[in-house]
Amino acid sequence: MHVFVTGGSGLTGPAVVTELIEAGHTVTGLARSAAAAGRLTALGATPHRGSLEDLDSLRRGAEAADGVLHMAFGGDFADPDDMERRDRTAIEALGAALENTGKPFVSTSGTLVMPAGRESTEKDEPDPAGLAAFRIAGERACLEFAARGVRANVVRLAPTVHGPGDHGFIPMLITTARETGKSAYVGDGANRWPAVHRLDAAILFRLALEGAPAGSVLHGAAENVPFRNIAETIADGLGLPAVSLTPEAASTHFASPFFALAYAFDAPVSSGFTRELLGWAPTRPGLLDDVATGDYL
């Protein structure tokens, strides 16, 4: 299969591109810069210059492919409406190029769209007032193409896709711990944080492209980790105390009020349906092992 990939030069993208190529697929990757094009070329993919704002470029890439994997997501968390718009319009352009072809189209969302306080399944509805509600419009835009002759499905990734070179939520937490001299969690820290290893996520994306039925919603989460355990693992590794913060103190302790809310968010998810449907079986180290023994500290 010839796959057009957006986000292939980012954090999770290189693992996905490598997984696809090793499985016998060919990959063309969206590249918005010469540096991104170079990274894609080094992975064995063909660069396609453009950006999420260049809708004509997205359509051309999709039309020339046998399937599309959309992982790119950008913008400023201070302007969630703009992030939502960028994602939705890109998905609409990619999906329209595949209409009535039966080709696969896998788009990416996040498990933080799900309601707080209980373990959500793939069949549950996202929370329109939730922490990551700005990703829901993109989900819906993709899934609408399932009724328009596209094998469209959505992968909701855990907020932490961990592995070497991670520069997401966990490294930001570690940076804050180094700068403040303490590794913090909010309240009792019992809130559960979904996580998945990057290489396990790459396999899931490949399986979704190869065989997920139209309209499927999939969960890319291998485990749900109590946040206090994450903070304590960081504290042990850095030789710092692990401390509890009130929500008010957390809003100024962490990088921004949004991250304070995210680190306190209790939104565990199940991936049981995903595993059964696609035979996905995560085998890589868990988040706490990766933090303790990987390159995080």
Tens of pLDDT, residues 92-101: 999 999 999 9
> Cβ distance 188 to 154 under 8 Å?
no
200 & 267 share domain: no
Helix (H) or strand (E) holding 184: strand 183-186
Residues 6+ apart with CB under 8 A from 262: 112, 131, 159, 169
> Cβ distance 111 to 267 under 8 Å?
yes
Find, among 226, 237, 242, 246, the residue nearest to 286 by Cα.
Answer: 226
Residue 204: its pLDDT value, please? 98
Residue 122: its pLDDT value, please? 98
Residue 77: its pLDDT value, please? 72
Residue 74: its pLDDT value, please? 77
Please check the confidence at residue 19 and state whether its pLDDT lies above 80: yes
Please check the confidence at residue 221 and state whether its pLDDT lies above 90: yes
76 & 6 share domain: yes
Number of separate domains in the chain: 2
Find, among 196, 215, 190, the residue nearest to 277 by Cα.
Answer: 215
CATH number at residue 269: 3.90.25
Helix (H) or strand (E) holding 271: none
Q: How far apart are CA 262 and CA 275, in angstroms?
A: 26
Q: Region 236-260: what's the mean pLDDT?
A: 96
Q: Which of 220, 235, 260 is the last residue of a domain?
A: 220
Name which residue leads in pLDDT, 160 or 130: 160
75 & 86 share domain: yes
257 & 216 share domain: no
155 & 61 share domain: yes
Please check the confidence at residue 250 and state whether its pLDDT lies above 80: yes
31 & 119 share domain: yes
216 & 259 share domain: no
Domain range for 80:
2-160+195-220
> Cβ distance 193 to 160 under 8 Å?
yes
Please check the confidence at residue 76 and state whether its pLDDT lies above 90: no
Residue 270: its pLDDT value, please? 98
Sign of CA dihedral 12, 3, 65, 151: negative
Q: Nearest 5°: CA angle at 179, between 173 and 183?
A: 45
Sign of CA dihedral 254, 257, 258, 264: positive
- Coil vs helix vs strand at 21: helix
> Cβ distance 151 to 102 under 8 Å?
yes
96 & 187 share domain: no
Helix axes 227-238, 169-180, angle to 10 degrees: 50
200 & 115 share domain: yes
Lowest mean pLDDT among 1-10, 42-51, 73-82, 158-167: 73-82
Please check the confidence at residue 80 and state whether its pLDDT lies above 90: no
- The chain-wide mean pLDDT, for the chain, equals 96
145 & 199 share domain: yes
Residue 109: its pLDDT value, please? 97
37: confidence class by pLDDT, cuts 50, 70, 90: very high
Q: How far apart are CA 264 and CA 256, in angstroms?
A: 13
Q: Region 40-61: what's the mean pLDDT?
A: 96
Please check the confidence at residue 7 and state whether its pLDDT lies above 90: yes
Q: Region 245-257: what's the mean pLDDT?
A: 95
148 & 235 share domain: no
Q: Residue 183 has which token pair?
A: 């590794």
Which pTM does this prediction carry? 0.96
DSSP annotation of 100 reads T
